[in-house]
Chains A and B, each alone.
Chain A
Amino acid sequence: MSLLFAFLLILSCNCSLLLAKNKNISCEHLVGRLGNCQSHFVYCATTKSVPVRLCVGCEPEYRNLTHSYDELLSNANCSKIYLDSDRINVVATTQGILTNLWQKASCEDCYNGNHSEMYDEKWVILDGCLSANKDDPCTACKGDYIELNQFYLGMEKANKGHVCFDLQDRMNRTRSNWSKTLKCCQREVKLNTFIIAVFVVVLLPILTFYITAIVLTRRREANHGLLNEETPELDAPTTSALITAAVLSTATEPPVAMAANTEKIARVLSGADIDSESDSMLDSSDEEVLVKPRRA
């Protein structure tokens, strides 16, 4: 019985030792694999940097990389050893840099849906067209180019600007090639109508407005001196008061009309006073209606 117990004890000890040894080995192994994957990915990304083929060209490398990193993480002991181990935290940092590169290029977008393939198709068509029509690419391939461009713009709109960077780069190159190398983008600076419009719609009203304002003011202020001569005052009023006075005085009717008006009112009123019959009251009220607008 005791023998059996001793045996069991030894076995368990052995086992735990073995287990520990196993674990150590596999952690080192896992890290080694991760390092390998990282270096492959870095090599791939760097070699395919211009023109950018990161997303399409390095996909298997990236998948391996994430896979081995996940393996390392899933092992509780290993992740304890290699992650949060010290201040520099090498493994997590290098991994972070590489993942960040992938995310910054919006690479996952290339593998969502099939727009990447559709774009490729259209690009191939345009490329074929360009190489077929070396002498006059602009007219021959214009339709293809516009189609590709429209497709790209639509994609950009749908993804809110985060298009897979491979496609972005390819589009930029295509556009650059199209407009700079082939000189097919022919936008013309034709601004004759615009200049005419500026003169007619803007300058003319502005000048008219200010000239009118100045002329009107000058005319209004022509009464300035006149007013001063008429009523010499010891305490000269301010300019603004004079202007208001001038406005009011120009607005009123000439003295003759005013006198006539006064007379009219007086006549009407005295008339109303003299005969107090209802008929003439009506009359006078009629007259008043006539007078009223002038007063206002």
Chain B
Amino acid sequence: MVDAKASLICLDEETTSDVEPILTKVTKKSLPTPTTILADVLNNDVPTTSTGVGVGNNNSVTLKRAIDDDDVPALLDHTPSYSGNAINGNLPANDRDNAESEPIFRVRSRTAASSTPNYESLDYEVCENMLFQEEQRKSITERFSLRKDIIRWIIFIQIGIITALIACTIDIIIEELSELKYLFLMNSVESNVPKSDITGGDLVVPFLYWILLSVLPVAFGAAMVTYIEPITAGSGIPQVKSYLNGVKIPRIVRIKTLAVKAIGVITSVVGGLAGGKEGPMIHAGAVVAAGISQGKSTTFVKDFRVFKAFRDDHEKRDFVLGGGAAGVSAAFGAPIGGMLFSLEEAASFWNQNLIWRTLVASIISVFTLNIVLSTYHGLNDFTFTGLFNLGKFDQPLKFDYFELPIFMLLGVTGGLLGAAWNSLNTKINGFRKRYIPWKFGKVCEAVVVAMLGVTLACMMIYFINDCRPLGNDPTIHPVQLFCEDNEYNAVAALWFQTPEATVRSLFHDPPGSHKILTLAMFALVYYVLSCATFGLNVSLGVFIPTALVGAAWGRLLAMVTFYLFPETEFLHPGKYALIGAAANLGGVLRMTISLSVILMETTGVETSFFFPLIIALISAKWVGDYFNEGIYDTQIEVNHVPMLPWEPLPQYKGLRAREILSSPVVCIKLRDSAHYIYNVLKKCDHNGFPVVDDVKGVRRSEGRVCGIVLRSQLIVILLKSLYVENSHFWLPNTSIQTFRDVYPRYPSIKSVRKLDDKINYTVDLAMFMNPSPVRVNAHDSVPRIFQIFRALGLRHMLVINNENRIAGIITRRDFIYK
């Protein structure tokens, strides 16, 4: 009981609406019995609890609410934040005037998506209410639209530049710290090699140093991610993808997220986990875009009073799209790949102008990156392309026609390995979810995986004696270890660098730089390690480890073939490493357009070599798709993010709107009492409320539709007291800006004071509601509705009957089949 009370109080004191649903879920589900006790005790024994305990006014509200919940347990317990759906079973019971007349409520069970109600949609639909139209009219006379367009361009350019600068910072810090770390370890290895006379040391010393130097940063990064901002865990691409699809991921585009993500990725790459920094950079780009375009920071309570016209979800999404593209470009040095990435991930909502701006932002981002990194590396021209340029091949890559089947075979292998990787990774993460739910445990696991990686690497270096003569290939810091005096250890050369540098050396090292055993072990170890690493609570991308595994087995395949048939001449190991990397990426990520273009751009291969790359990618994707989905989609699915797919699911084909809609709908009259609105907002957490007129008595849910109003608008109306009775106070200086000012963190209903004296005031929604909501008939087919829903990025869709009376409502959740 005590616990329950504490958490309920928590819930009440919560002010940001972001976090609310999660809390709601936890408390409500766990409460049935404690609530009863609480209610009983408080009802019977101590009626004056609230003043006595000293928690204050809040408490009494809480308790009342708990009692209310108790009255109708079955409904509210399992479908708490059903955005826009009619599950307000407790509403009529408490409402004093419509107790008996409302129809019987039922919960729809076809899409009982009750498991994870903690995601909401974004409002991509522009609310064209009267205030908005007024602004539009004004803009025609002021030529304001031209200015807005120019500002938009300026923002896109800024996004490109700042994203690139952040990418540079991350890159340079990682490079410097890794260099320091690995130089130290190499020197330690060299000075501790046991010799036959007593001068040598013991090789356990560098091993322990290595563990220490990996565990410390990883633990730091994992702790930051886990305790400060859990949303930063993982690569960030699934989150950005969901955001662009229209799902509101709480806290995804905040400045704090950016800081934690940047530090997290630096620590984990320096710590030597099997991961890259490209995914986090995309996320960073998205945050930068969202931040700049708003011209204010809620975290620092600072409003620069610029870009006010862009404060809604629709405009923000466009900028985030550009930011993501700039991030991809900065991460790979591939501007077109970046633009195509955003096109591929969010293509349902683009237009020509937007893509053009996105491309310009990407190119500016790459250019900035080039300038900064070239200066940093002391080059006079801007030749340092990208953070993850896989390096240009010295001589043009050629291929013979009989190699095409081999490439296809590599693609098939990549598809199989990728599908296996995805399924293994999903299993591992399922295990994690079940067995390691504690925060401390998550940090510990990151440390454990880091230690495992170091141990495997160290064992490979110590036990595989792969000695190569010095000077034949460009190894910058050779380690001799047990080799003869003019040789170096090829295994150590593979491990003592960041994963990206390893990809580059696998692509460009001359033939015969490694033994077959070395590469086979390396591919195997990295396959397992990357699989265990992705899904840890650290910010890391999956692109580079995947490319690395692919490059390793591709090169290995070429070497084995050459070993079996020494007379063959076409087996250029770098070429096969590239094809292997492409195949493995295709098998794991299953991205198509952007992935192929990124690979082409980062390696700078000739146009004639696009064909082999495409063959490998496409066969990998086909084979992989036969087994499961790409890793990003799998992640989204595992987290139950309500993403809309490209097509409606086959289960929905042949259905009609009335079979998926939710009804009855909580409606608000065109002129309704402030008290009713306040109660509705308090009782149910839906986001959109149809505005109706021609209501018979109190049966609002059968009224005639005239518009839709959003929760955030209603809260602003209540907060600013925009009532009919006092309209002469606020009417002159209320504009669309009044509503934009509170974006993006809308106040919750709890921040609205009780309507003590204004209880009989009226709200006229005619001015605030969106008079043109998307409406469909109850007989319309579901696939058709889905098309409209996805193309327009809707959040609510009203279903009406033939008399334009509300018949139900359809939201994003209704399309997620469970």
Q: B470: CB under 8 A from chain A?
A: yes
**Distance (Å) between the CB of B25 and the closest chain A CB?**
8
CB-defined contacts of A172 to chain B, threshold 8 Å: 469-471, 486
B468-503 interface bits toward A, Cβ cutoff 8 Å, 1 = contact, 0 = none:
011100000000011111100000000000000000
CA distance A217 to B438 in the complex (A): 10
CB-defined contacts of A198 to chain B, threshold 8 Å: 207, 455, 458-459
Q: A217-B435, A252-B3 are in contact. Are A270 and B46 (CB under 8 A)?
A: yes
Q: A214-B435, A266-B41 are in contact. Are A175 and B115 (CB under 8 A)?
A: no
CB-defined contacts of A273 to chain B, threshold 8 Å: 48, 52
CB-defined contacts of B445 to chain A, threshold 8 Å: 209
* Interface residue ranges of A74-95 to B (CB < 8 Å): none
Contact A266 B46 (CB under 8 A): yes
Q: A294: CB under 8 A from chain B?
A: yes
Q: A116: CB under 8 A from chain B?
A: no
Contact A185 B2 (CB under 8 A): no
CA distance A160 to B78 in the complex (A): 69
CA distance A235 to B194 in the complex (A): 67
Q: A172-B470, A296-B6 are in contact. Are A206 and B485 (CB under 8 A)?
A: no
**Distance (Å) between the CB of B454 and the closest chain A CB?**
8
Q: Which of A24-32, A96-104, A189-197 lines the interface with chain B?
A: A189-197
Q: A112: CB under 8 A from chain B?
A: no
Chain B interface, DSSP helix/strand/loop, else mixed = helix
**Distance (Å) between the CB of B671 and the closest chain A CB?**
38
Chain A interface, DSSP helix/strand/loop, else mixed = helix
**Distance (Å) between the CB of A74 and the closest chain B CB?**
30
**Distance (Å) between the CB of A7 and the closest chain B CB?**
61
CA distance A215 to B614 in the complex (A): 48
Chain B's closest residue to A180 (CB) is B484
Q: A186-B197, A194-B203, A202-B451 are in contact. Are A213 and B441 (CB under 8 A)?
A: yes
Q: B511: CB under 8 A from chain A?
A: no
CB-defined contacts of A251 to chain B, threshold 8 Å: 3
* Interface residue ranges of A121-167 to B (CB < 8 Å): 149
From A168, A234, A238, B74 is in contact (CB under 8 Å) with A234
CA distance A193 to B114 in the complex (A): 55
Chain A's closest residue to B7 (CB) is A248
Q: A16: CB under 8 A from chain B?
A: no
Contact A188 B434 (CB under 8 A): no
Q: A187: CB under 8 A from chain B?
A: yes
* Interface residue ranges of B427-441 to A (CB < 8 Å): 433-437, 441
CA distance A238 to B41 in the complex (A): 30
Q: A191-B462, A231-B33, A252-B3 are in contact. Are A197 and B200 (CB under 8 A)?
A: no
From B54, B116, B193, B211, A202 is in contact (CB under 8 Å) with B211
Q: A194-B207, A231-B32, A258-B1 are in contact. Are A176 and B451 (CB under 8 A)?
A: no
CA distance A296 to B6 in the complex (A): 7
Q: B452: CB under 8 A from chain A?
A: yes
* Interface residue ranges of A233-249 to B (CB < 8 Å): 234-235, 237-238, 240-241, 243-245, 247-249
Q: B29: CB under 8 A from chain A?
A: yes
From B34, B116, B433, B485, A179 is in contact (CB under 8 Å) with B485
Chain B's closest residue to A145 (CB) is B485
From B29, B74, B196, B481, A241 is in contact (CB under 8 Å) with B29
From A179, A191, A266, B203 is in contact (CB under 8 Å) with A191
CB-defined contacts of A171 to chain B, threshold 8 Å: 486
Q: B45: CB under 8 A from chain A?
A: yes
Contact A240 B53 (CB under 8 A): no
Contact A206 B115 (CB under 8 A): no
B88-112 interface bits toward A, Cβ cutoff 8 Å, 1 = contact, 0 = none:
0000000000000000000000001
Contact B485 A176 (CB under 8 A): yes
Q: A201: CB under 8 A from chain B?
A: yes
**Distance (Å) between the CB of A192 and the closest chain B CB?**
9
Q: A295: CB under 8 A from chain B?
A: yes
CA distance A189 to B481 in the complex (A): 9
Q: B39: CB under 8 A from chain A?
A: no
Contact A272 B52 (CB under 8 A): yes
Q: A117: CB under 8 A from chain B?
A: no
CA distance A175 to B25 in the complex (A): 71
Contact B5 A237 (CB under 8 A): no
Q: A261: CB under 8 A from chain B?
A: yes
CA distance A240 to B484 in the complex (A): 58
CB-defined contacts of B1 to chain A, threshold 8 Å: 252, 258, 261-262
Q: A73: CB under 8 A from chain B?
A: no
Contact B482 A209 (CB under 8 A): no
CA distance A209 to B444 in the complex (A): 8
**Distance (Å) between the CB of A257 and the closest chain B CB?**
9
Q: Which of B2, B74, B116, B484 has the most CB of A within 10 A?
A: B2
Contact A194 B204 (CB under 8 A): yes
CB-defined contacts of A253 to chain B, threshold 8 Å: 2
CA distance A178 to B487 in the complex (A): 12
CB-defined contacts of B435 to chain A, threshold 8 Å: 210, 213-214, 217
From B29, B53, B54, B437, A237 is in contact (CB under 8 Å) with B29
CA distance A237 to B203 in the complex (A): 54
Q: A175-B484, A202-B451, A258-B1 are in contact. Are A188 and B194 (CB under 8 A)?
A: yes
Q: A60: CB under 8 A from chain B?
A: no
**Distance (Å) between the CB of B22 and the closest chain A CB?**
11
From A178, A187, A270, A295, B2 is in contact (CB under 8 Å) with A295
CB-defined contacts of A238 to chain B, threshold 8 Å: 114-115
Contact B6 A186 (CB under 8 A): no
Chain B's closest residue to A217 (CB) is B435
CB-defined contacts of A262 to chain B, threshold 8 Å: 1, 37, 41
Contact A188 B200 (CB under 8 A): yes
Q: B208: CB under 8 A from chain A?
A: yes
**Distance (Å) between the CB of A184 and the closest chain B CB?**
9
CB-defined contacts of A180 to chain B, threshold 8 Å: 484
CB-defined contacts of B29 to chain A, threshold 8 Å: 237, 241, 244-245
Q: A205: CB under 8 A from chain B?
A: yes
**Distance (Å) between the CB of A54 and the closest chain B CB?**
16
CB-defined contacts of A70 to chain B, threshold 8 Å: none
* Interface residue ranges of B21-76 to A (CB < 8 Å): 25-26, 29-30, 32-34, 37, 41, 45-46, 48-49, 52-54, 74
Q: A288: CB under 8 A from chain B?
A: yes
Contact A258 B2 (CB under 8 A): yes
Q: B354: CB under 8 A from chain A?
A: no
Contact B26 A185 (CB under 8 A): no
Q: B135: CB under 8 A from chain A?
A: no
**Distance (Å) between the CB of B46 and the closest chain A CB?**
5
Contact A240 B452 (CB under 8 A): no
Contact A261 B2 (CB under 8 A): yes
CB-defined contacts of A295 to chain B, threshold 8 Å: 2, 5-6
Contact A206 B208 (CB under 8 A): no
Contact B194 A205 (CB under 8 A): no
Given contacts A197-B204, A249-B30, A251-B3, 17 further A-B contacts (CB under 8 A): A172-B471, A186-B196, A187-B483, A189-B482, A190-B194, A191-B203, A201-B211, A235-B74, A235-B78, A238-B115, A240-B116, A244-B30, A258-B1, A261-B1, A262-B41, A269-B53, A294-B2
Closest 10 CB pairs of A and B: A186-B196, A175-B485, A179-B484, A175-B486, A269-B52, A193-B204, A179-B485, A190-B194, A238-B115, A248-B30
Enumerate 22 A-B pairs (CB-CB under 8 Å) in ascending A order. Answer: A171-B486, A172-B486, A179-B486, A185-B485, A186-B195, A187-B193, A187-B200, A188-B195, A189-B482, A190-B202, A194-B207, A194-B462, A198-B207, A201-B211, A205-B451, A209-B441, A235-B78, A237-B78, A238-B115, A240-B116, A248-B26, A266-B41
